[in-house]
Amino acid sequence: MTNDNEPDPVLMSLARLPSVSPRAERDARTRMRCHAVLARHEALARRPARAPLARAADLALTAVLCGYAMIALLEAVRLMQ
């Protein structure tokens, strides 16, 4: 901050900025996007759960991969000894 009487150019340029006020079209776009997100979330919530067969397939694949990883780990330990 200065003590001289010259006006600060930054403050002068800030004073010339237009004032901020909400615009109806921007509010409408924001409201539309919010409603779209809410509708998407609602549609996902209403979607039926995955079929039991798909869950069983996921579980089987996970078990096979874990078994493979365990065998690979045991072989690595065996080879290090």
pLDDT tens for 30-66 read 999 999 999 999 998 888 877 888 889 999 999 999 9
Please count the structural domains in the chain: 1
What integer best gives the mean pLDDT of the chain? 90
Residue 72 lies in a domain: yes
Residue 48 lies in a domain: yes
Q: Is the pLDDT of residue 1 over 70?
A: no
Range of the domain at 45: 22-80
Residue 10 lies in a domain: no
What are 66-78's pLDDT values in tens digits?
999 999 999 999 9
Separation of alpha carbons 8 and 31, rounded Å:
40
Residues 6+ apart with CB under 8 A from 8: 2
Residue 9 lies in a domain: no
Which helix (H) or strand (E) is 37 found in, with range?
A: helix 24-46
Residue 51 lies in a domain: yes
Residue 59: what pLDDT? 95
Residue 12 lies in a domain: no
Residue 46 lies in a domain: yes
